[in-house]
Amino acid sequence: MSYNKMPSITAETINPKVRMFTYEPCGEIVRHARLLEQEIYDNPGSLPFQEIIYCNLGNPQALGQQPINFFREVLSLCDNPPLIYRDEARALFSACALKRANRILESLPAKDSGSYTSSQGVRSLRQVVADGIAARDGFPSRAEDIFLTDGASSAINMMMQILIRSPEDSILCPLPEYPLYSGSIILHGGTMVPYYLTEDNGWGLEIFEVKRCLEDARASGLTVRAMVVINPGNPTGQVLSMTSQEEIVEFCRKEGLVILADEVYQDNVYTENKKFNSFKKVARSLGYDQEDLSVVSFHSVSMGYYGECGRRGGYMEICGFGSEVIDEIYKLSSLTICPNIAGQILISLIMDPPKLGDESFETFMTEKEETYSSLLKSAKTLQKAFSSLEGVSCNKFEGAMYLFPRLRLPPLAIRAAELEGVSPDVFYAHRLLGATGIAVVPGSGFHPVSGTSHIRCTILPGEEKIAAMVPRLRAFHEAFMEEFRG
């Protein structure tokens, strides 16, 4: 008998579905950035920049966005309930936060934050979320349709697990897409049916294109079960028009497709003439109810003016599924027992923030507006900078947290990328990182039309840093174009 000095599990012997998908926002570019960061630490001054600017991920607070004080106060008190009864706490916490934390704790199992909750989330917190949705949309929402989740990603994974039975089961997804979708569909053994957004139309959605993709998919024997819509768009930064949303609702209703509505950027809309409308609201406005159409809305604590990524909180509202399906989703979520309590509390705060008349209201509004105005200024500066670069065109920024400029690179650069065995956007992004410390995600990670090159750059680094970034970006780009002009 011989024992090989080899690990028994190798990359060749794991689940090939895991190997198959790619997830670039946390992928190769981050690995490269971490190496450079280590180099700066080990050999200060050895690189032409002093720090890495992580524009690869929508990670607001990592890039300087300030947390909302009220939210943090409530979390802090819920972690340590005895504080509420201490006189000294009044010097450290607002009366508002003390009151809210007390109300939340009263409704938790054992009046504390240390227990498992229902796998669906604490009933009272789900009620707060449902009430917040009803107030936002002007249509009723029920606590029993709400699942609190560890961020939107785990909710989306759960719905893919519910919907996908075999490789024939497929999901319509926009391209460019947030690669969680392709990743999750591949992982759960289904097929992604892409529909292309139209870059020349501000990354708008054309319903005839979606219809064509559906028909092609059906003709090739696929069972299309759902349509993913990301609104506001990631990576495109587009906010759907009401007409587009109505077309999508009519289409999905007629074709019996579930709408999987990624609405995590609902509090990141910056354009005067568009506002966020949830797909459920659009469906109800058209007169469709639970029996007419299935809609799942995903939301998260990670984006918006709150940006609490580290907490992993969120909800999904599930409308138009049979109650037996809800029971199965409940069972599926019970396999990880329950979502984390801080995330549950935080999503309830976001859906029910301080109101006019509350002691914390003014501070809250100031903090919120400062964040918005800073994001808007940053976006404008960056958009102008990208647009001014040779061979670069940049979409109009309407929502979410990203710019997705298109690069038209010289043939010699494309050739140089080929020689390195990578696509031109990957080549460009790594060169940019190596020269400036600015980490962006190569557009190919979001699977846009092949033959085009983009990068995704978040608007989050804050006005000061962006002001410092722009000349470095410009200098790099000019040198790059010069080098490959031929």
Q: Which of residues 3-42 bind a second copy (CB under 8 A)?
A: 3, 5-11, 14-16, 18-19, 21-23, 25-27
Query: Is 393 a binder of a second copy (CB under 8 A)?
Result: no
Q: In 3D, which of 120, 17, 166, 169 has the Cα closest to residue 347? A: 120
Distance CA 198, CA 206 (A): 7
The contact pattern for a second copy, residues 140-159, with x = CB under 8 A and - = no contact, is: ----------xx-xx--x--
Q: Which 196-225 residues touch a second copy, going by CB under 8 A?
A: 225
The contact pattern for a second copy, residues 302-341, with x = CB under 8 A and - = no contact, is: x----xxxxxx-------xxx-xx-xx--xx-xxxxxxxx
- What does the DSSP assignment read for 446-458? G--STT-EEEEEE
Q: How far is the CB of 303 from a second copy (least distance, A)?
A: 11
Backbone angles phi, psi at 168, to 5 degrees: -75, -25
Considering only 33, 52, 55, 77, the residue that binds a second copy (CB under 8 A) is 77
For residue 15, with 0-12 CB atoms within 10 Å meaning exposed, 13-18 middle and 19 or more buried, which class applies? exposed
Considering only 32, 37, 47, 76, the residue that binds a second copy (CB under 8 A) is 76
Choose one: 80-88, 227-235, 426-434, 469-477; the region binding a second copy (CB under 8 A): 80-88
What are the tokens at 240?
């759907």
Closest to a second copy by CB, 9 vs 419, is: 9
Query: Is 246 a binder of a second copy (CB under 8 A)?
Result: no
Choose one: 61-69, 210-218, 231-239, 270-278; the region binding a second copy (CB under 8 A): 61-69
What are the tokens at 97?
């936060």
What are the tokens at 145?
């349709």
CB atoms within 10 A of CB 243: 10
Closest to a second copy by CB, 141 vs 300, is: 300
Q: Which 282-301 residues touch a second copy, going by CB under 8 A?
A: 290-294
What are the tokens at 11?
């990359």
Query: Is 257 a binder of a second copy (CB under 8 A)?
Result: yes
Q: Which 156-175 residues touch a second copy, going by CB under 8 A?
A: 157, 161-165
CA atoms within 13 A on the CB side of 471: 5
Choose one: 191-199, 253-261, 351-359, 474-482; the region binding a second copy (CB under 8 A): 253-261
Q: Which 178-197 residues touch a second copy, going by CB under 8 A?
A: 180, 183-184, 187-189
Closest to a second copy by CB, 180 vs 217, is: 180
Q: How far is the CB of 377 from a second copy (least distance, A)?
A: 20
Closest to a second copy by CB, 159 vs 429, is: 159
Closest to a second copy by CB, 151 vs 437, is: 151
> To 10 degrees, the CA torsion angle through 462, 467, 468, 474?
120
What are the tokens at 384?
């102008």
Closest to a second copy by CB, 177 vs 398, is: 177
Distance CA 283, CA 246 (A): 7
Distance CA 134, CA 128 (A): 10
Closest to a second copy by CB, 235 vs 405, is: 235
Considering only 126, 253, 299, 477, the residue that binds a second copy (CB under 8 A) is 253
Q: Judge contact between 156 and 298, C-beta under 8 A.
A: yes
What are the tokens at 213?
């993709």
3-state secondary structure of 398: coil
Q: Which 417-436 residues touch a second copy, going by CB under 8 A?
A: none
Q: Which 362-391 residues touch a second copy, going by CB under 8 A?
A: none
Query: Long-range contacts for 367-376 (Cβ within 8 Å, ≥24 apart)?
Result: 367/66, 367/68, 367/69, 367/305, 368/68, 368/305, 370/66, 371/65, 371/66, 371/305, 371/307, 372/270, 372/305, 374/65, 374/462, 374/463, 375/65, 375/268, 375/270, 375/401, 375/459, 375/460, 376/270
Closest to a second copy by CB, 2 vs 273, is: 2
The contact pattern for a second copy, residues 99-138, with x = CB under 8 A and - = no contact, is: ----------xx-xxxxxx-x-------------------
In Å, how far are 35, 79, 103 from 341, measured between CA atoms?
35, 10, 15
What are the tokens at 282?
């659009």
Q: In 3D, which of 365, 360, 368, 314 has the Cα closest to residue 101? A: 360
Q: In 3D, which of 207, 152, 160 has the Cα closest to residue 184? A: 160
Q: Which 82-101 residues touch a second copy, going by CB under 8 A?
A: 83, 86, 88-89, 91-92
Q: How far is the CB of 6 from a second copy (least distance, A)?
A: 7
# residues near a second copy by CB under 8 A: 103
Closest to a second copy by CB, 292 vs 359, is: 292
Considering only 140, 167, 256, 411, the residue that binds a second copy (CB under 8 A) is 256
Q: How far is the CB of 27 from a second copy (least distance, A)?
A: 7
Q: Judge contact between 333 and 120, C-beta under 8 A.
A: yes
